[in-house]
Structure formats: C-alpha cells, structure tokens
Amino acid sequence: MSDAAFQEKAGRFAAMLITQAAWPATIVIAGDSVAPLVASARGALHAPFAMLGLLAAAASAVVVLGFSALLSFDALLFRLMASHDDELSGGAAIDDILARMRLKPAPAAPRPLDDRIAGTRRLLARQRIAFAVFVVAFLWAGFWMPR
C-alpha cells in the first residue's frame, strides 16, 4: 500500500470510529436519563420484571459506554498512525505508546494496518451487541411491561 493510501485509509477509519463511538453513547445516555421517568409514569417500577429490565438497561449502558471509550481511544491511535509517513513507522509508534502505557507488550514487528482494523472491527461488533441488549432491555422496562 502506498504511503498516501495508507494515511487516507487510517484517517477514514479513525473518522468512522469517532462516529461509531458517539452515536450509541448519545442514545444510551439519553435513554438512561428518561428510562426511570417512563417506567414510573407507566407504573412499571412496582413490577419486578420491569425493575430487572431497568437494571439490565443500566448494566448494558455501562458496557456500551465502555466500548465507546475504547473505540474513541482506538480512533486516536489510528489518527496517530495516519500522521506518520509510512505504515511501518505508524505501527511502531502505536506499539511504543501501548507498551509505555503498559497496555500491551512491545511486539517483535509492528502489525499491519489491516490487522489492526480487523481487531477494532471485532470491538465494534461487541459494542453493537451490547447496544442491542440495551435497546431490548430499555424497551422491555419502559414500554412493554403491563401497568
């Protein structure tokens, strides 16, 4: 991959990650702020299954927010990688930062950009699963429970 193509791909992926980290976090924060109000207005706070739904929504919200923070951190790492002249030096810079932060041991050779993107896509899939659990729990606690 040429240097310009590598920088463009890493930059586009970082921008996409910021978007993918922001919108679920925004929906989760908004949903968690209105969930108790909606449940109490419907009288669902006295139903045990509705309370379990609210607790599941709160727990999955924490997981979604955690994944959003991780994706934001990854976006910053991809922007750092894109700021370097070539893929090898960008990958080495990321590995150096992660080793200094004691998050990962320094590898013998930097991983290529496509491997890093694949790992972040797995993290993105986990965030989407946690977001789906949040949506189901939120709808269950706030709207589907009988009065």
The tally of domains found in the chain comes to 1
Q: Domain range for residue 130?
A: 3-144
Report the alpha-carbon distance of residue 16 to residue 70 in Å, rounded: 14
Chain segment 34-69, per-residue pLDDT in tens = 877 766 666 655 566 667 777 888 899 999 999 999
Nearest to 30 by CA among 7, 64, 2: 64
Contact call for residues 112 and 87 (beta carbons, < 8 A): yes
Look up the pTM and report it: 0.86
Nearest to 125 by CA among 32, 20, 2: 20
Main-chain phi, psi angles of 104, to 5 degrees: -145, 145
pLDDT band at 127 (very low <50, low <70, confident <90, very high): very high
